[in-house]
Structure 1
Amino acid sequence: MCFSATASFIVGGSLIAVGAVTLKLVKEKRELAFAMIPLLFGVQQLVEGVLWSSFHYNIPDLRTAMTYMFTMFSHVLWPIYVPFAVGLLETDPWRCRAMWVFRFIGVSVSVHLLLLIILMPLNAVADQHVIYISPRLYEWPMMFLYITATCLVSLFSSHRIIRFFGALAILMFIISYAFYTVAFFSVWCFFAAILSVIILIFFRGRRGMPVT
């Protein structure tokens, strides 16, 4: 979490446990990617916990490694991963076709942001929050496409609870940017990590057919 190492480790460990329970509820291979989301968010939160520790113990090399690792999760993995994970759950033909549009956007966003991470300086500083600093990494046109790939895609799901997840993720994105502008990616990833518990609820409440 963006507020302390302790919070990050607690949230990360909890989400890994949630992810393990969620994976046990998987019935088909196509559900596996979606079920992995809480576990992956848990790992991401642990990475930020280690990053916090690198500030506390003044370990520059560890700080650099964890900064890059976190941004690989936040800026590169999620725009690709979420559209594919959500799309694999779909059986409705028009929704399946729509998912390919989001997948294309997600891949484009991830490649663009990866190039920025590689080519531009990247640093992290900590005060009350962790702030990830890099030129052009947060430009609004790309952020709009980012939120399209990671959040808006869920609104096209045939499953009501996944649409609910997407709507809440968009709301948390807006709140994070409005109130934690300089640290909004760290804050929003924390909120999104907490929201991933909804995925456990989805698998537990599933009745075998999409809820529309």
Structure 2
Amino acid sequence: MTGFLGDVMCWSATADLVAGTGIAAVGVVCVVRLRRARDLPLGALPLLLGTHQIIESAVWRSGGGTGPATLAWAVVALPLLAVWVPFGVWLAAPPSVRSRLVVPVVVGLLTSVVLAYFLGTRPVTAEIRGHTLGYVLDLPHAPLIVAGYLLATVGSLLLGGDPLLRLLGVLVAAGAAVCAALWRLEFISTWCAFAAVAAVVMLAWVRRRPEGPAPPGMSGARSPASR
């Protein structure tokens, strides 16, 4: 179904660049503060989403089309996030919670494979439409794929066993509902921008993480308690 990707809420290259830089900066703070390697993928989510917005600023500046920036944006938005979020939640979760995260992780992996296949075999195009950018990808069975995508991403956050992750899950679920109501199937770009803003919740999550071995390359970092 053509039009699975659609209008976004970012109005210019400058807006994407400024927002992306700010969110990525929050992500850097999150990564620096983390003390456990298994928390890194989830803690780096704002950095990934901020970088995603910066990539979109490059799509603006290139005039849209099917260039490398457009493909890079779609790779992050679709197959990468579908597997990154549930796997990150699973890694960070305590052992007692991980069993209920198996379904989102498996669904995310399968959804990621399907999306990667279609991105590898069909072109994704960015179109400048006045003050918005639109993305078009011919994606069969879009409702089923969207359901798997949301189960993997939002579902894992809601089932992660942490109140702040649950809050983030509620926020991005509400964002998905609003974007779907306004843009129907053309909601993924708007939702990604909303999720990037909501990801600043991760800073509070990082501050509450327990102590543990520092991630590789950060062994000299001081713990928050020692500052």
The alignment's TM-score, normalised by the length of structure 1, stands at 0.89
2:44 pairs with 30, 36, 42, which one? 36
Q: Which residue in 2 is equivalent to 1:18?
A: 26
Q: Is structure 2 residue 148 aligned with structure 1 residue 145? A: yes
Q: Which residue in 1 is equivalent to 2:220?
A: none
Letter matched to residue 143 of structure 1: V
Give, in whole Å, the separation in 2 of the partners of 1:189 and 1:138: 20
Letter matched to residue 170 of structure 1: A
Query: What is the count of residue pairs matched by the alignment?
Result: 202
2:188 pairs with 170, 180, 185, which one? 185
How far apart are 1:78 and its partner, in Å? Answer: 0.5
Q: Which residue in 1 is equivalent to 2:35?
A: 27
* Fraction of identical pairs, as percent: 28
Query: What is the SS of the residue equivalent to 2:67?
Result: helix
How far apart are 1:182 and its partner, in Å? Answer: 6.5
Judge conservation of contact 1:38–1:193 (CA < 8 Å) in 2: yes
Q: Is structure 2 residue 13 aligned with structure 1 residue 5? A: yes
Letter matched to residue 38 of structure 1: P
1:133 pairs with 133, 136, 144, which one? 136
Question: What do residues 23-59 of structure 1 show as CA deviations (whole Å, max 9, x unaligned)?
Answer: 121011111111110111111001000101111xxx8
Q: Which residue in 2 is equivalent to 1:203?
A: 206
Letter matched to residue 16 of structure 1: A
**CA spacing shift, 1:207–1:115, aligned 2, 3 Å:** closer
Question: What do residues 115-149 of structure 1 show as CA deviations (whole Å, max 9, x unaligned)?
Answer: 11111232111213221111126710110010000
Deviates more, 1:44-53 or 1:128-137: 128-137
Letter matched to residue 9 of structure 1: L
**CA spacing shift, 1:47–1:33, aligned 2, 3 Å:** same
Q: Which residue in 1 is equivalent to 2:170?
A: 167
Give, in whole Å, the separation in 2 of the partners of 1:175 and 1:49: 24
**CA spacing shift, 1:47–1:84, aligned 2, 3 Å:** same
CA RMSD of aligned residues (A): 1.8
Q: Is structure 2 residue 112 aligned with structure 1 residue 104? A: no
* Residue segments in structure 1 that go unaligned for 5+ positions in a row: none
The alignment's TM-score, normalised by the length of structure 2, stands at 0.83
Q: Which residue in 2 is equivalent to 1:79?
A: 82
**CA spacing shift, 1:100–1:132, aligned 2, 3 Å:** same
Q: Is structure 2 residue 93 aligned with structure 1 residue 90? A: yes
Give, in whole Å, the separation in 2 of the partners of 1:178 and 1:101: 27
